[in-house]
Amino acid sequence: MNRKLRLRAFAKANLSLNIVGKDATTGLHEIDSVMMSLDKFDTVTVTERDDDRINVRFLNADIGEDNTALRAALAVKENIGGVDIEIEKGIPIGAGLGGSSADGAAVLRALDVLYKLPERGVDMRKVALSVGSDVPFMLSGGLARVRGTGDDMFFIENKLQLFIVGLMSDSVFTARAYADFDKLYAERSYCPTDTDKLCAALLDGENSALEFFDNALYRPAVMQSSAIERNASLLRSHGAVTCMTGSGGMVLGYFTDLEKFAACAHALRSADGFCVFAPAKTGVLHEWLNK
């Protein structure tokens, strides 16, 4: 009987996102961001086949053949056999929560467990980066400062307890958000927050960390969805410190006070796109269904 794995691929939030320029070789935007895993997840099931075919199927979403899960499998195709990959989406699509990257990370983790890829000469971090700039972080998860094009990660111990409410607006297209960013900021860099101070405050467990939550892609995202700005204002009216994650369209509201968080969650529980999140400690978890 063929081996089978089931994985939970966790979402992420950007507590901060500065854009510091562009890579001269690739043309990709370089970032300086603090990323944190969240407890929403996609469920990815990977089953060995008796041939060398790679099949990807989404159970509850209409996602085409150009997807990160397939790209992840193809990136190591020479080192694996055939597999069937089934994905049940639990992370909202187009939210900036890293759902696509999470799927790619889960597939790489599954194939590593099945085929021991480093023993076959595969550099997992290099392959992950080739699949997507967020994939290296999504593989590890937790809390990290991520710089460059996703290749420079410094993991942080977070001593600040955070309670999180989210409101989802319309989906935002990442490529368009970055293109609009370039139109808005001629120097192609914008750093609305101090990442050094944010990391120091998180390490010390200081509430002042929330003062440094900000996102350079906020204005470009609002150009696609004005609901982002309305949701941010609504969350702030209930006492939250807000920060859009990724390129949107999820706006997250952060609290350090449990009672204020509970009051906000109760008041907005019927709002469109309402979610509650908690920090997660890892990016991908796996279990054997058949070994």
The tens digit of pLDDT for each residue in 113-161 reads 999 999 999 999 999 999 999 999 999 999 999 999 998 999 999 999 9
Helices 124-131, 99-115: axis angle to 10 degrees equals 150
Query: Does the active-site annotation cover 40?
Result: no
Q: Which residues make Cβ contacts (< 8 Å) with residue 22, sequence separation at least 6?
A: 28, 29, 30, 188
Percent of the chain with pLDDT over 90: 94
Tokens representing 147 are: 């710089």
Q: How far apart are CA 146 and CA 198, in angstroms?
A: 13
> In 190-239, which residue ranges form alpha helices assigned H by DSSP?
195-204, 218-224, 227-237
Residue 97 burial (10 A CB sphere; 0-12, 13-18, 19+): buried
Which one is catalytic: 12, 89, 180, 214?
12
The answer to pTM > 0.85 is yes
pLDDT at 171 over 90: no
Whether the Cβ atoms of residue 267 and residue 260 lie closer than 8 Å to each other? no
pLDDT digits over 37-52, tens only?
999 999 999 999 999 9
Count of Cβ atoms closer than 10 Å to residue 139 Cβ = 24
Q: Among the options 103, 112, 134, 180, which is catalytic?
A: 134
Query: How are strands ordered across the β-sheet holding 241-244?
Result: 241-244, 250-255, 163-168, 274-277
Cα angle for residues 269, 272, 274 (degrees, 5° grid): 45
Q: For the chain, which domains are there?
A: 4-156 (3.30.230.10), 163-277 (3.30.70.890)
| 250: nearest Cα among 223, 233, 232 | 232
Report the pLDDT value the prediction gives residue 88, as an integer from 0 to 100: 98
- What does the pLDDT read at residue 135? 98
Residues 278/39, Cβ–Cβ less than 8 Å: yes
Give pLDDT, residue 24.
85
The half-sphere exposure of 209 on its side-chain side, counting CA atoms within 13 A, is 21
Average pLDDT over every residue of 205-212: 98
Beta strand spans in 23-149 (E)? 29-48, 54-58, 83-88, 143-148
pLDDT at 50: 96
Spatial contact of 133 and 148, defined as CB atoms under 8 Å apart: no
95 vs 130: CA distance, rounded Å: 22
Query: What three-state secondary structure class fits 86?
Result: strand
Cα gap 247→94, rounded to integer Å:
8
Q: Is 253 within 8 Å of 166 (Cβ atoms)?
A: yes
pLDDT for the residue 188: 80
H or E, element range at 241: strand 241-244
Q: Is the pLDDT of residue 187 over 90?
A: no
pLDDT tens digits for range 82-100: 999 999 999 999 999 999 9
Look up 32 and say whether it is catalytic: no
- What is the band of 169 on the pLDDT scale with cuts at 50, 70, 90? confident
Q: List, for residues 217-241, the tens digit of each pLDDT value.
A: 999 999 999 999 999 999 999 999 9
- Could you tell me the CA-to-CA distances from 97 to 25, 65, 103, 211 in Å, in that order? 27, 21, 12, 21
